[in-house]
Structure 1
Amino acid sequence: MKFSRSSLVLILLDAALINLAAIGSFYLRFEGNIPREYYWTYYHTAWAGTLIYLLIFSFFGLYNRLWQYASISELLSVIFAVFVGTSSVVLVVYFLAPMRYPNTVAVLFWLTTTFMISGSRLILRIIDDAVLTIPIPGIPKRVLIIGAGDAGALAIRELKNSNYREGYPIGIIDDSLQKQKLKLMGIPILGTRKDIPHVVKSHKVEEVIIAMPSAPGAVIRDIAKICEKSGAVIKIVPGIYNFFSGQIDTLQIRQVEIEDLLGRDQLNLDIDEVAGYLAGETVMVTGAGGSIGSELCRQICRFNPEKLILVGRGENSIFDIEQELGSEFSDINVITEILDVKDREKVELVFWKYRPGVVFHAAAHKHVPLMERNPEEALKNNILGTYNVAEISDLTRVKTFVLISTDKAINPTSVMGATKRVAEMIIQSLDLQSQTRFVAVRFGNVLGSRGSVIPTFKKQIAKGGPVTVTHPEMVRYFMTIPEAAQLVIQAGAMAEGGEIFILDMGKPVRIIDLARDLIRLSGLEADVDIRIEFTGIRPGEKLYEELLTAEEGRTSTKHQRIFVAKPSAVDIAGVELLVQLIRERGSFLTREEIEQELSGVVSGFQQLQGKKHNKQNSIFNIV
């Protein structure tokens, strides 16, 4: 075995400490008057005992650890190694030495060796931690940590490990009264959140790091507002999710984002259940280049499918996700197919070629105002495309088919929403006669997706405004893209067939509040630095989105964040006639014909263009 220079130094140090501990044990036992015959015994056994100790220490890995980061596990390794070493040396002395040691010497030998070896290892850690309390001249900025928990300790150590290039921690804020006036890693706890303005001013704090990854969004929002008034730069330790491969143990300190203020609860998945239907399977994702589709691909790869088929018609987006997955998951067989889901012949060809066992259908037109101007394209892509993929999934005996739906399919007021409701009806009708488990997953807006309000607001802020909001009472549900993808995958594992799964979207958020938060996070003030303008509700939009109709209701599942809508009647004949009509005249249908056909199939479909919006008609609080 090869040892580094530092390990060789440690071996020599251990050899000296072992012999020092042996002599010290005799000295303590005989109170300084060590009989001559025991010197002779030590002389005959010292070399063998030292060699045995060093071999056992090497076996226990005491020479391949970074002891400046020593913790309880390293200390236990030392204790076990010294115990085994002492026991072995006692046996050697028993058989080889001219005279046996007294029993008390053996006990003292074990105790002193443990103390000395442990002390030599932990002294680096002690020195390492002690440096935290030493003021360092010329540091770039003074930092205040919010949160005296594990994340706070990690933040302090992260600053220290960077040699304080990112700032020096001068204190900690924590709302727990039991922690007041205590210290964490040598850094004092200076008060609760109400003391932030005083602490920032009195200690000349330049930067605040919020280290509370499990705190609700309301708490983060309140602390952020307090910190903003103090004038200090605000950063955050983001939430740590238990992903599929285990808990993330890296620390990232970054600027506060809008996701932090919304605050979604930590997500827990049934890993065994999910792996049971994805591992070793051929999985296909349509719309794989989109926001949700690409994230589904990333998450699916964590479960080691045999093949992952990326399907999409945008070559650039498919190329990007293919390159990303190839770099991060080189052991996964990732295959790309450029096709349009409206092209039934190509869809069928691809399905027979790869015979997927699981299909996630994310390909769809989703932009409400754009589809109001191009309603025939919404029909062709969202209805005919879904019908093609779903029908061929049945034909090729796909095991599980998951449709990505939307809250806009409930009591739809837009062509896009109505077409997505028809897509749900398609998979529900097919499930009645198919061996494939057809399910839909319905959720609201995702943060940062293409065409969503967040990127639009950021671009407007970057240009100096104005930030445009359609209506002061406009409300939407939001979740993050990774969260939505993980819940979709979990819902697929729970599928029995015919369900419409509803994801818990939390509390609805006013778009005007979202705009103000983004302006504030940019270091500006709404209506002072950046003007907010109201532009009026766009065609097809409604003030309050819904996740369920009044008739559907909901039932819970074993996952606290996933619900099932009670099945509602499906006009199978009407759906089939509509699909046939789209095939025959799709591009040539007039708006009046489109609205008439959708109204005949989708109960509750009503165009809102030019009509009054009524808050009482919404049931958004059902979920």
Structure 2
Amino acid sequence: MISWRERLSALVPRLTVVSHDLLMVWLCWQGLHHLRYAMLPNPPASPLWSPEIAIVLVAQGLVFWRVGLYRGLWRFASVPDLWNILKAALLGLLALALGLALYNRLGTVPRAVLVLYPFALVGLLGMPRLLFRAWKDNQNSDLKSGVALRVLILGAGRAGEALVRDLRRSGAYQPVGLLDDAARLKGTKLHGVPVLGGLDDAVAIARETAAKLIVIAMPSLDAANMQRVVAICESTGLPFRTVPRLVDVLEGRSLPGELKEVAIDDLLGRKPVTPDWKLIRGWLGGRTVLVTGAGGSIGSELCRQCARHGARKIALLEVDELALTTTHAELSRAFPDLEIVSVLGNCGDPAAIAHALKISEPDAVFHAAAYKQVPLLEQQLREAVRNNVLATEVVARACRDAGVATFVFISTDKAVDPVNVLGATKRFAEMVCQTMDDRKSTRFVTVRFGNVLDSAGSVVPLFREQIRLGGPVTVTDPDVTRYFMTIPEACQLIVQAAAGAAHASIYTLDMGEPVPIRVLAEQMIRLAGKQPGKDIAIVYTGLRPGEKLHETLFHADELYRPTSHSKILEARARDASVEMISRAIVSLQAAAAAYDNEELSRILRASVPEFSPAGHVQETGATIVQFPARDARRTR
């Protein structure tokens, strides 16, 4: 219960502002009359109060209230507030003119007063607001100038201008200058902060201004330019930060005005993906989804994406109890209105998946559960087959039997011309999904993508830990390349592909240009404030079992076509025999039960003819296929 004293303390500032504005209206009206008659030898008397003034104050005051003039704060007065004042002044002129016309037909009001009134009122109302803001900003700066961190800003565009305002408002930072490559900006000022030169002048200007921190205010930079800017920052020897991209703010991964460290994905140049939100929300809105492997990096982000875009209910199926608990807690905290169902169990257990489907009754299932560590799976064939193939068959069959509308299988680019157990098992699972689709019931969709930055077990966390321990950073081969995506980007495109997919379809996501792992390691070392080869060594260990130098995106026999989204291509699935797959599944189940790795290997090679283990692959066959420039195999 709010006390009367609290109500009064909240009301007093508002009443003070209202009183100020009405006083300015009175001064404006009186001043314009005095100005109009000042040159006359015998000016008429101008009373301090009259029915005419009362009408002006009431009319203008009502307009102030209606246009919401008192919803803003003087502390943050800006151009939009001045526009609001101008609108209030013009509408107020109409209101008072109408009131005075009814009172005395405007018989005593000079036309010059009516013409000048709105412009004079804007000045009288706007100037105190802007002066108050400037005073508060300077006061805050003066109070903390002794402890404020001196900041040099790279970029004098909109982001730089907003950053200067934010830094000054916080009081913890003192902008001492801006750098921008636009020659026309040199010598100009943003909110009193000078543009001192170009980006290449950073070393000298940082020294001259005694800057202690550099902030990159260029959120739209592509990878190449961001790498250049980071190199410039590193050459100064000062710590540096960057402002978040708009997409990161909108997706909740960064806060507005937050200064964050430059992340490795900023340097790898993933241009922001813009999914078709209308299509996604139309498909997900009010629906129920089930995610297997919901505690993993991909599964948990899929849950967040589905919740963010309108899913009413999400079922989590996860074998790791800690991961399940963590994902459930995060979703509950971020989406309090979301209905969440948690099932602890192995998705390859028919009873577990049947129970999860029964209690959730999903409209769509995202099958993200899988083993994915390439070198490990080379020695763990039985578990790879059991989890990646047999469990997928169990989940897919259960979804079809339960009448689930859409089943989305998360695959990998390693399923194309597989040379390792991971790729072969994922390719077999793709064929299982393809043969399950009878085009009359459940829609089976396969989505392939490459390595995911910062996913569990990926190279980025490994490099980060190696750098933390002082090195060395281990890279398999100087020439090895991989395709990379960020976790949110991959999941957005998965949902996008699923929303508009056809039956038995296979989609490949645009992962940009392949990234040399050596370059990735060097960039991460530099981001840690170290120098590759000097502070942190890079050691080349040779390709591990199941690895190849370069990944491919499409099999030679998979004709593809563009989709409605520029980042997604649809491949024409190769023919797969239902009878052959069914027999192979039965054989794999028997071999897995007997832990017969030799039989498992034989069945896998027979079922996936293109599977050629890495030890038998000629490197000339491992080529980089650019996306989407494959015009020789494009179908319209």
Interval containing the TM-score (normalised by the shorter chain):
over 0.9
The residue number in structure 2 matching 1:272 is: 278
Say whether 1:101 aligns with 2:109: yes
Alignment of 1:65-84 (within 5 A): 65-84=72-91
Is contact 1:571–1:601 with CA below 8 Å preserved after alignment?
no
Shift of 1:378: 0.8
Encode CA deviations 1:437-463: one digit per residue, 9 max, x unaligned.
211110001111000011111111111
Match of 1:525 among 528, 531, 535: 531
The residue number in structure 2 matching 1:24 is: 31
Say whether 1:39 aligns with 2:46: yes
The residue number in structure 2 matching 1:471 is: 477
Normalized against structure 1, the TM-score is what?
Answer: 0.94
Say whether 1:142 aligns with 2:147: no
Instruction: Go from structure 1 to structure 2 and tell me whether the alpha carbon gap of 1:121 and 1:338 turns closer, same or farther (over 3 Å shift).
Output: same
The residue number in structure 2 matching 1:608 is: 614
Match of 1:290 among 275, 286, 296: 296
Match of 2:622 among 605, 617, 620: 617
Secondary structure class of the residue paired with 1:63: helix
Using the alignment, how far apart are the partners of 1:192 and 1:560 within structure 2? 35
Shift of 1:486: 0.6
Instruction: Go from structure 1 to structure 2 and tell me whether the alpha carbon gap of 1:34 and 1:592 turns closer, same or farther (over 3 Å shift).
Output: farther
Secondary structure class of the residue paired with 1:545: coil
Shift of 1:247: 12
Instruction: Go from structure 1 to structure 2 and tell me whether the alpha carbon gap of 1:543 and 1:560 turns closer, same or farther (over 3 Å shift).
Output: same
The residue number in structure 2 matching 1:342 is: 348
How many residues are treated as equivalent by the alignment? 620
Using the alignment, how far apart are the partners of 1:591 and 1:487 within structure 2? 36
Secondary structure class of the residue paired with 1:254: coil
Secondary structure class of the residue paired with 2:50: helix
The residue number in structure 2 matching 1:427 is: 433
Match of 1:155 among 159, 163, 172: 163
Is contact 1:383–1:423 with CA below 8 Å preserved after alignment?
yes
Mean Cα deviation higher: 419-428 or 44-53: 44-53
Is contact 1:578–1:597 with CA below 8 Å preserved after alignment?
yes
The residue number in structure 2 matching 1:206 is: 212
Say whether 1:124 aligns with 2:129: no
Alignment of 1:155-234 (within 5 A): 155-163=163-171, 165=172, 167-234=173-240
Say whether 1:320 aligns with 2:326: yes
Shift of 1:480: 0.6
Is contact 1:548–1:622 with CA below 8 Å preserved after alignment?
no
Using the alignment, how far apart are the partners of 1:145 and 1:285 within structure 2? 44
Mean Cα deviation higher: 414-423 or 433-442: 433-442
The residue number in structure 1 matching 2:556 is: 550
Q: Extract unaligned runs of 5+ from structure 2.
A: 1-6, 629-636
Using the alignment, how far apart are the partners of 2:340 and 2:612 within structure 1? 42
Using the alignment, how far apart are the partners of 1:338 and 1:246 within structure 2? 28
Alignment of 1:329-478 (within 5 A): 329-478=335-484
Q: Percent identity?
A: 36
Is contact 2:367–2:409 with CA below 8 Å preserved after alignment?
yes
Mean Cα deviation higher: 272-281 or 459-468: 459-468
Using the alignment, how far apart are the partners of 1:537 and 1:111 within structure 2? 75
Encode CA deviations 1:2-26: one digit per residue, 9 max, x unaligned.
8633222212211221111111111
Match of 2:517 among 508, 511, 516: 511
Instruction: Go from structure 1 to structure 2 and tell me whether the alpha carbon gap of 1:567 and 1:403 turns closer, same or farther (over 3 Å shift).
Output: same
Q: Provide the alpha-carbon RMSD of the alignment.
A: 2.5
Instruction: Go from structure 1 to structure 2 and tell me whether the alpha carbon gap of 1:615 and 1:251 turns closer, same or farther (over 3 Å shift).
Output: farther
Opposite residue 20 of structure 2, the aligned amino acid is L
Is contact 2:86–2:118 with CA below 8 Å preserved after alignment?
no
Opposite residue 120 of structure 2, the aligned amino acid is T
Opposite residue 536 of structure 2, the aligned amino acid is I
Secondary structure class of the residue paired with 1:168: strand
Opposite residue 14 of structure 2, the aligned amino acid is S
The residue number in structure 1 matching 2:4 is: none
Instruction: Go from structure 1 to structure 2 and tell me whether the alpha carbon gap of 1:601 and 1:475 turns closer, same or farther (over 3 Å shift).
Output: same
Kindly report structure 1 stretches of 4+ aligned residues shifted beyond 4 Å: 32-38, 126-137, 242-249
